Amino acid sequence: MDKLDVIIIGAGASGLMCAAMAAYRGRNVLVLDHANKPGKKILMSGGGRCNFTNMDAAPKHFLSDNPHFCISALRRYTPQDFVDLVDRHGLDYVEKAPGQLFCEHSAKDLLAILMTELEWSGAQVKLNTRILNVEYQDDITVVTTNQGVFSCESLVIATGGLSIPTMGATGFGYEIAKQVGHDVLPTRASLVPITVQPERKEQLAALSGIACDVRASANEAQFEEPMLFTHRGVSGPAILQITNFWQPGEALQIHIAPDLSLEALNQARDQQPKKTLENYLANELPKRLVDLIKAEFPWLDQKFAQVSNEQIEQLFQYLSHFDVAPNGTEGYRTAEVTLGGVNTKEVSSKTFESQKQKGLYFIGEVLDVTGWLGGYNFQWAWSSGFAAGQYV
């Protein structure tokens, strides 16, 4: 049996960060993963360029049943700390949207940095390793795998959530938690495209591939960002963001072109009375969307001057209450994250050690901490991995 100080299950973002930090402290660290490569989600994230942090990341950008849990780790390892790390390795990166940092070339560059840190720290990684059993004995934990039996003082669960099973996601972390009596809060696919009712799907199919600015609102949350029509429903940043707050069966409000207020429409009529409403809208919205609206309101081909107040009001109501008839989401197949997970009320926010089992730690997405879209989820992986890395 190989004896280690620390075993980390999961060679993803949080596991790799934790491994390097613990090994720099002189701990003998082994990372185990059933996948054939480390950091697969890092590689596929951000369209292959990984939105690796958000400079504005603050506790308000994270959802959890225990909202204070994330504060300590986010304070102890900030976005600037991660930027300092990648700067030391000379990573080229860009700020694509305010605060959102992406690799300039490829997410491979970021993974290479993490693997270099791992090498420098002396932490080892064993891939293609299936975990067969975990047993807690007095002061040690014994992990039986298809590659041998290992013992450790600290076992870190960094197996992430359920999204993208084809990339190696499993419910392993939740099972390990339940085995020692942890509460696991219900999980749900999030930051995920929404599917629509079959009748509406046919109507919206013509819009597939186009994007427009919307305000998406649900459960008192709202996001003003682009929405993309897909062949099965709607996606894009506004929709992904709102799925952290909305769930099937609940109300979802979509306001198309929120800048086109009733006031703005009336003002445009006064200023451009000879322009047809159709031409006016074509300047503001994609042509195919204007065609769909015209099918609803044939009078869009009239000049502004001929359009009544009631018609302007009707148009405004249509845009501000655009019904996409949502019926569900694309699920874990395409979701970026999993909401819910290991209840943080039973985990130390300082060390990330379980309050149910000595020597057992949970970090990253397996915990009930979910960030907004925009680099927050990786920041949580870095912060929680760093924090636990000081104690395991």
Contact residues for ligand FDA, defined by CB under 6 A: 9-15, 33-35, 40-41, 44-46, 50-51, 131, 158-160, 163-164, 168-170, 172, 336-337, 364-365, 375-378, 381
Query: By C-beta, is 91 or 131 nearer to ligand FDA?
Result: 131
Closest CB to ligand FDA: residue number: 12
Query: What sections of the chain are H helices per DSSP?
Result: 13-24, 40-44, 71-76, 79-88, 107-121, 172-179, 198-204, 237-242, 262-271, 277-284, 287-296, 309-320, 376-389
Query: By C-beta, is 285 or 392 nearer to ligand FDA?
Result: 392
Query: By C-beta, is 61 or 269 nearer to ligand FDA?
Result: 61
Minimum distance from residue 243 beta carbon to ligand FDA (Å):
13
Q: What share of the chain is helix, strand, coil (3-state, %, to 5)?
A: 40, 25, 35
Token output for 90: 């000379």
Within 13 Å, how many C-alpha atoms sit on residue 140's CB side? 12
| Residue 79 burial (10 A CB sphere; 0-12, 13-18, 19+) | buried
Residues 216, 238 contacting (CB under 8 angstroms): yes
Query: By C-beta, is 188 or 255 nearer to ligand FDA?
Result: 188
Minimum distance from residue 391 beta carbon to ligand FDA (Å):
17
Question: Nearest-5° angle of CA 230, CA 322, CA 265?
Answer: 120
CB contact set of 253 (below 8 Å; sequence gap of 6+): 215, 216, 217, 218, 321
Query: By C-beta, is 13 or 252 nearer to ligand FDA?
Result: 13
Minimum distance from residue 143 beta carbon to ligand FDA (Å):
10
Query: By C-beta, is 169 or 185 nearer to ligand FDA?
Result: 169
Query: By C-beta, is 170 or 272 nearer to ligand FDA?
Result: 170
Query: By C-beta, is 169 or 281 nearer to ligand FDA?
Result: 169
Residues 270, 237 contacting (CB under 8 angstroms): no
Q: What is the DSSP letter of 177?
A: H
Residues 20, 26 contacting (CB under 8 angstroms): no
Query: By C-beta, is 14 or 357 nearer to ligand FDA?
Result: 14
d(CA 342, CA 23): 26
Minimum distance from residue 288 beta carbon to ligand FDA (Å):
27
Residues 52, 39 contacting (CB under 8 angstroms): no
Among 172, 140, 66, smallest CA distance to 357 is for 140
Minimum distance from residue 370 beta carbon to ligand FDA (Å):
8
Angstrom CA distances, 274 to 52, 270, 277, 283, stand at 50, 10, 9, 15
Beta bridge partners of 226: 213
